[in-house]
A and B are shown apart, each in its own frame.
Chain A
Amino acid sequence: MSQKPLLEMIGIDKTFGRQTVLKNCSLELQRGETVVLIGPSGSGKSTLLRCVNMLSPADSGDVFFANQHISRGEVPAHQLRQRIGMVFQNYELFSHLTAAENIMLAPMTVLGMNRIDARKLADKLLAKVRINERADHFPDELSGGQQQRVAIARALAMKPELMLYDEPTSALDPEMIREVLEVMAELSAEGMTSMVVTHEMGFARRAANKILFMEEGEIIDRANTDDFFAGNVSERAQRFLTQILH
């Protein structure tokens, strides 16, 4: 493709103390694409995700987002994060706010949106994630799946150009995983550029354009989804796959 990628990471290195967590990681993500990162725990998938929105900046290497070099603090981190949504494993909804207020908070404080417009936006997004009847409930009154869908809506409220999902279904009961993946797959199908750390291979098959396999801080395999599921991957990735599919 001749089109410039929305996100480009080149040679990312990162260490925590003496431990190397990322080694020379590079990836490209076109607008509208969804990439799934898989790999054993501790392989650096989440850290790589956090390098994108500078929650955990890379030690070296370059990150370009929307044609802008961002990895050396050229753009203030909070401004960058306004354009990149993130969903966490533990949802992290603000416990003192209702579902709707969780969604309204950032548009109101960061973008200066008024309360009425923010509420309209919240209702629209809650309908999108199919949970509008629970708009005035507090996080502890919602199931895990519902909380995670509210968290997705909260991220969408800032109209992000890129969504990062950090193991969004790992803390969920099996029956709730589906409702969350459903929403994510829909967003991807609508053209939301997404980077997803997950072990849900069903989701990967359905929504991902490409799949990266990471181990010990390195991206050791990458493939288009079709190739990946046709078995055109390294032996190591294949082994991991049979393990998690089991």
Chain B
Amino acid sequence: MSIELMWQYFLSPEFIQGAWMTLLITLCSLLCGVVLGLVLALLQEAPFRTGKGLAFFYLWLFRGTPVLFQIIFVYNVLPGFGLRFSAFTCAVLALSLNEGAYMAEILRSGLQAVKSGQRTAGMALGMTNGQIMRKIVLPQAARIVLPPMGNQMISMLKSSALVSVIAVQELLLVANQTASASFRYFEALCAAGIYYLLLTTLFMIFQSWLESALDPKQRRSKSQKRLTRLFKLPKTAREAP
């Protein structure tokens, strides 16, 4: 065991590159997953049957098979249909498709948690469905879905390790390759582990920041501070000669 070697690995360009790749895959998949999830959640809420059916089929398919299976499937089967993507694209595609199914359920629960009276009140004011969605339902749902979304973010970071099976040079694959070349498993894996913990810590900080940013009461105290500053300004201007 050598702590020094671990740090060497930790700071090596391969590991930094690998951690960057892990982060990139995670962020891209999360972003696509949220968008996809929102579309699916809205489809489930849609008044027409085809929407509900489509969303149900999607959830059935992507929650019903292992994500590892989906990654391998996208990488190995799609080229047979003439769909050729880089390993990175395949990784993001598979993870996004899978994430979308889970996000859809989280977002749906958030949308349903907004009481129907809130929508009715928006309707009574003459707002269109789109306006009600954007100005009333989504802002309220966003706060409700944040904690489970945080869970998903962290779980996605870890799921990204699975794409090492399709030879994407992400953190775990780099660590594993390094280790098998030098037989220094402890050092290589610890270096990767520290990166994972660092990234999850960042995600957790981001989540709690987002939670307080979306808390309307926090927002008010900030805007009040801004206001008092504004009111103070003319005073100092008066005092100046």
Question: Which of A's residues lie within 8 Å of B, judged by CB?
Answer: 53, 55, 77-86, 88, 90, 92-98, 105-106, 109-110, 136, 138, 154-155, 158
Given that A88-B121, A92-B120, A136-B224 are known contacts, is A82 also in contact with B126, CB under 8 Å in the complex? yes
> Contact between A158 and B125 (Cβ–Cβ < 8 Å)?
yes
Give the secondary structure class of B's interface. Answer: helix
22 contacts between A and B (CB under 8 A): A53-B124, A55-B123, A55-B124, A78-B127, A78-B128, A81-B126, A82-B126, A88-B117, A88-B120, A94-B122, A94-B140, A96-B140, A96-B143, A98-B216, A98-B220, A105-B136, A106-B126, A109-B127, A109-B131, A110-B125, A138-B216, A138-B217
A157 to B9, CA, bound (A): 64
Given contacts A78-B127, A155-B125, contact A94 B120 (CB under 8 A): no
- Considering the complex, give the chain B residue whose CB is closest to the CB of A111: B126
Q: Which residues of A contact B117 (CB under 8 A)?
A: 88, 90, 92
Closest A residue by C-beta to B215: A96
- B135 sits at the interface (CB 8 A): yes
Name the contact of A95 in the complex, choosing from B118, B120, B125 (C-beta under 8 A).
Answer: B118
B131 near A110 (CB under 8 angstroms)? yes
How far is B216's CA from A98's CA once the two chains are assembled, in angstroms? 8
Could you list 7 further interchain pairs (A-B, Cβ under 8 angstroms) beyond the known A92-B120, A96-B143, A136-B224?
Answer: A78-B127, A78-B128, A82-B126, A88-B117, A106-B127, A138-B217, A158-B125
Number of interface residues of B (CB under 8 A): 21
Q: Does B148 contact A (CB under 8 A)?
A: no
Asked whether, in the complex, the Cβ of A105 is within 8 Å of the Cβ of B125, the reply is yes
A97 & B120 in contact (Cβ 8 Å cutoff) = no
Establish whether residues A105 and B135, one from each chain, have CB atoms under 8 Å apart when the complex forms.
yes
Please determine whether A92 and B125 come into contact, CB atoms closer than 8 angstroms. no
Chain A residue nearest in CB terms to B216: A96
Q: Assess whether B139 is interfacial by the CB under 8 Å rule.
A: yes
Residue of B nearest to A110 (CB): B126
Which residues on the A side are within 8 Å of B135 (C-beta)? 105, 109
Chain B contacts with A in 96-135, Cβ cutoff 8 A: 117-118, 120-128, 131, 135
Cβ–Cβ < 8 Å partners of B220 in chain A: 98, 136, 138
Q: How distant is the Cα of A179 from the Cα of B121 in the complex, in angstroms?
A: 22
6 closest Cβ pairs, A-B complex: A82-B126, A92-B121, A86-B124, A106-B125, A81-B126, A92-B117
Task: Specify which chain A residues have a CB less than 8 angstroms from the CB of B128 in the assembled complex.
Answer: 78
**Which of A92, A96, A98, A154 has its CB near the most chain B CB atoms (within 10 A)?**
A96
Smallest Cβ distance from B166 to chain A, in angstroms? 43
Contact between A81 and B121, CB atoms less than 8 A apart: no
